[in-house]
């Protein structure tokens, strides 16, 4: 099978163009078609000579994704199932609010981490997405955002299926093309990468000068309890995780967002709030407390009084706390509910 042209490197594309006797500026033209205009065929590259387009067709291909299904919630949230070139499927979500539209994007088919509260983990892990497949989610949902909300996507969260830092190169390349002036030109500050806490990946982000925001899906600040909730804790213990987050802050100056799912009688006591405060002390954070979305895990969401007390303690310690209410629950589009299913 021919190589997807979006999988080839700039250097390899330049070598190919030179090998067929074309001028180097053709590379910039091709990249503009691929990443700025988001074309899905060589015939759309109208400023290229026909002979060059035929050469590209003979040596490369497009392994494009498509929308298999869409369903819209009563609150306006839209969930999409994407068909990949190999018949696999992933999901993405559009979340409108005020003057923003946030796209929740997947990085893997399934997920290997098996977090107890998350429906995606029940799929198991199938494969990583390529950067072009991640990019396609953005392109396809952006077009739908214009149709549904009369607005382009303004924000992106890598919080869909999968763990982004276990697909590092593809995720980073997709971010580069989404943020590059030669690509979609979205500000890095409008992108958030969410991770369960892969320490080596967090340090690599710091070393690579990663500009988007970072969110840690912590969900429990008691290490033994978190291990039961999130098995990855066994190999990524709290000492490693805190060390990586301190390193990230020192290298980038970033304030880390802590994502904390409020689970009734599990992680929502005052003792849990104290442990969360202790975990966050070594680096600046803002804390998002998340309403639990029902799956078949057996967990329940915390009651409102418990949440208020949890917040009051953290705010008494001068912590920045926000409460995130779920969107798209009626179509299984909320956090932790993505499992390749559309009602």
Residue 335 annotated as catalytic? yes
How is residue 320 written in tokens? 């920045």
Structure tokens at 160: 């869909």
Q: Are residues 22 and 73 both part of a single domain?
A: no
Looking at residue 341, what is its pLDDT?
46
Burial class of 298 by CB neighbour count within 10 A (0 to 12, 13 to 18, 19+): exposed
Threshold 0.75, pTM exceeds: yes
The count of domains in the chain is 2
197 located within any domain = yes
149 assigned to some structural domain? yes
Query: Tokens 């988007």 sit at which residue?
Result: 212
User: In this structure, are 34 and 73 located in the same domain?
Assistant: no
CATH number at residue 294: 3.20.20.70
Expressed as residue numbers, the domain containing 217 is: 66-331
In a domain, 116, yes or no: yes
Q: With bands split at pLDDT 50, 70 and 90, how would you rate the model's confidence at 279?
A: very high
Residue 20 in any domain: the answer is yes
Judge whether 118 counts as a catalytic residue. no
Percentage, residues of the chain above pLDDT 90? 86
Of 31, 91, 133, 213, the active-site residue reads: 91
- pLDDT for position 39: 96
pLDDT at 338 over 70: no
Mean pLDDT of 145-174: 97
Asked if 9 and 112 sit in the same domain, the reply is no
- Is residue 342 very low, low, confident or very high in pLDDT (cuts 50, 70, 90)? very low
* 336 domain residue, yes or no: no
Look at residues 109, 193, 132 and name the one whose alpha carbon lies nearest to residue 9.
132
- pLDDT digit string (tens) for 206-251? 999 999 999 999 999 999 999 999 999 999 999 999 999 999 999 9
Signed CA dihedral, 198, 204, 209, 210: sign only: negative
């Amino acid at each position: 099978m021919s190589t997807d042209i979006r999988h080839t490197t700039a250097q390899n594309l330049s070598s190919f163009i030179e090998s067929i006797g074309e001028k180097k500026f053709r590379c910039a033209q091709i990249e503009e078609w691929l990443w700025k205009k988001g074309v899905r065929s060589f015939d759309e590259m109208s400023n290229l000579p026909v002979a060059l387009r035929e050469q590209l067709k003979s040596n490369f291909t497009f392994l494009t994704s498509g929308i298999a299904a869409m369903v819209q919630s009563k609150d306006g949230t839209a969930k999409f199932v994407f068909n990949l070139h190999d018949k696999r499927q992933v999901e993405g979500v559009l979340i409108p609010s005020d003057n923003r539209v946030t796209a929740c994007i997947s990085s893997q088919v399934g997920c290997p981490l098996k977090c107890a509260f998350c429906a995606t983990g029940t799929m198991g892990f199938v494969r990583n997405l390529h950067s072009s497949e991640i990019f396609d989610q953005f392109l396809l949902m952006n077009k739908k955002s214009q149709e549904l909300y009369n607005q382009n996507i303004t924000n992106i969260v890598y919080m869909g299926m999968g763990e982004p830092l276990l697909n590092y190169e593809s995720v980073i390349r997709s971010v580069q093309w989404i943020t590059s002036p030669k690509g979609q030109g979205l500000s890095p500050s409008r992108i958030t990468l969410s991770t369960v806490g892969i320490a080596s990946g967090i340090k690599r982000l710091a070393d690579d000068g990663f500009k988007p925001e970072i969110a840690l899906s912590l969900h429990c600040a008691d290490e033994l309890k978190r291990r039961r909730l999130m098995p990855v804790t066994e190999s990524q213990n709290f000492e490693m995780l805190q060390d990586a987050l301190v390193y990230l802050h020192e290298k980038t100056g970033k304030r880390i967002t802590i994502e904390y799912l409020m689970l009734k009688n599990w992680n929502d006591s005052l003792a849990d709030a104290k442990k969360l405060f202790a975990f966050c002390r070594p680096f600046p954070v803002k804390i998002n407390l998340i309403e639990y979305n029902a799956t078949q895990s057996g967990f329940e969401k915390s009651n409102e009084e418990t949440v208020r007390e949890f917040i009051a303690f953290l705010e008494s310690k001068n912590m920045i706390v926000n409460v995130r209410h779920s969107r798209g629950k009626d179509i299984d589009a909320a956090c932790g509910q993505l499992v390749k299913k559309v009602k």
